[in-house]
Amino acid sequence: MVIPVHDVNPVRRTPVVTYALIGVNVFVFFFMPGLSGSVAGDSTLVQTCNLHAFLEQYAAVPTELIHHQLPQLVPTGDARDGGCVLGPPGYDKSPELSVLTAMFLHGGWLHLLGNMLFLLIFGNNIEDRMGHLRFALFYVACGYAASYGFALLNADSTDPLIGASGAIAGVLGAYLVLYPKARVWVLVPFLIFLPLRLPAWLVLGSWFVLQAVYSSGEGVSEAGTVAYAAHIVGFLAGMLLAWPLKPGTPPPPEPGGLLFGRRARPRQTW
């Protein structure tokens, strides 16, 4: 609906945890086996089988989280007769730990860049308000809440669940609670990308409503390919965890000027 590019909400300290999370996500993405070919659209069967085997080991699988039963046969990474070879798993997998590893796996460039953009814009202020350690714990807690919430709603699903979206949704929920009046620069696709400065409650509230609509299957052709329900659970978890911090949170600076165009600039306060 809109693409956020910047918020008018300065921070007091360097968001080292936010930067570290972005760095780790990008690093892991480049070393996921078989992903380079899938991104380019020319994956070989071996590359695809390697990727499936990797995800089977490190991604969170709803049925494993709920029933705590691992499959007897998994992709081995080998290819034969036009398909992926299955065999007994040669590793011990912890479903609980897989939720953490899955937070740093992404299925493509758009998936990665979209998540990192939202984390960069909104994560720094939440880290600034919570502090480095509490923010790191908050991020992980929202990711776990999102994964287990999705698993409870899809207990028999064997599809791998990957991505930082659930944890980042928690960051968005916290931002909505703590800084609803902060102004956010967004690009609105209307013939061209129109720059607008909108209140955070409108940007993030609209995002949440879209996730709810998409989760119901409305407006998308294949709702099952994206875990929209995980986004909703993560967002609500972030709101709940951030609510106790709301009374002591200073308001963001009130920008002056227009809400769009080059002349829109925040008013300087000293």
SS3 state at 61 = coil
At residue 76 the predicted structure's pLDDT band, cuts being 50, 70 and 90, is: confident
Q: Residue 193 — pLDDT band, cuts 50, 70, 90? A: confident
Position 78 scores a pLDDT of: 86
Instruction: Read off the pLDDT of residues 95-154 as tens digits, 9 standing for 90 and up.
Output: 999 999 999 999 888 899 999 999 999 999 999 999 999 999 999 999 999 999 999 999
Q: The sheet that has 183-190: what strands, in order across it?
A: 3-8, 183-190, 192-199
**Greatest distance between any 2 Cα atoms in the chain:** 71
Residues in the chain: 270
Please check the confidence at residue 47 and state whether its pLDDT lies above 70: yes
Residue 108's pLDDT is what? 86
- pLDDT tops 70 at residue 34: no
Give the pLDDT of residue 217: 67
Per DSSP, which regions of the chain are E strands?
Answer: 3-8, 74-80, 83-87, 183-190, 192-199
Residue labelled with tokens 């791998």: 160
pTM: predicted TM-score of the whole model, two decimal places: 0.87
pLDDT value of residue 69: 84
Q: If you average pLDDT over every residue of the chain, what do you get?
A: 87
Q: Which residue reads 């493509």 in tokens?
A: 108
Burial of 190-225, coded b for 16+ CB within 10 Å and e otherwise, reads eeeeebbbbebbebbeebbeebeebbeeeeeeebee
pLDDT of residue 40: 46
- Lowest mean pLDDT across 9-23, 28-42, 133-147, 239-253: 28-42
Task: Give me the pLDDT at residue 262, please.
Answer: 46
Task: Evaluate if residue 19 carries a pLDDT over 80.
Answer: yes
User: 158, 61 in Cβ contact below 8 A?
Assistant: yes
**Is there a contact between 25 and 104 (Cβ–Cβ < 8 Å)?**
yes
Beta bridge partners of 3: 187
The band of 240, judged by pLDDT with boundaries at 50, 70 and 90, is very high
Under the banding of pLDDT at 50, 70 and 90, the label for residue 43 is low
Of the pLDDT bands very low, low, confident and very high (cuts 50, 70, 90), residue 260 is very low
The yes-or-no verdict on residue 219 having pLDDT over 50 is no
pLDDT, position 100: 97
**Which distant-in-sequence residues (6+ apart) come within 8 Å of 207 by Cβ?**
1, 172
